[in-house]
Amino acid sequence: MQQMLMTIVLLGLLGGCAQPQLEQPRANGSYLVIENNQAWAVLIADGKRVQEQGTVVDVIKRLDQESAVAASYVIETPHCGRVQWLSERSDAVDGATTLMALHSNSQELGQSGCVLGDDLSRIWTVLDYSG
């Protein structure tokens, strides 16, 4: 009888310890990766990664602090056409910051094959390995 009572108490304690698994956070981000004349626009949403590969058409970097634009990257992609990323410089309390935004006048950006069309409002991180 005592063994039965201990088994019931033990099962009760173990049952109280069982909790539903919490939903794990999923990675999100948007990256423009530049390496020499190659470019990859990488979108990560809810842990799923998609990318659009392209060719670098033009890169302009402005070093003067008076300019509102710090850098411009123009990429030609097979599915999205010609797309431009602008880095906008703004002053912050702790120093200058830059925000990258995607800009395009291309009709191809809204087509079904283009993975970038739905994410125009994202803030992008540019990783330029061109040196």
Output Rg (C-alpha) for the chain, integer angstroms.
Answer: 24
Question: Two tokens at 123?
Answer: 């803030």
Q: For residue 72, tell me if it sits in a domain.
A: yes
Q: For residue 94, tell me if it sits in a domain.
A: yes
d(CA 101, CA 116): 12
Q: Give the chain's mean pLDDT.
A: 76
Other CB atoms within 10 A of residue 30 CB = 17
What tens digit of pLDDT does each residue of 31-69 get? 889 999 999 988 888 888 888 899 999 988 877 767 777
Q: For residue 7, tell me if it sits in a domain.
A: no
Structural domain containing residue 111? 26-128
Q: For residue 88, tell me if it sits in a domain.
A: yes
Q: How many domains does the chain have?
A: 1
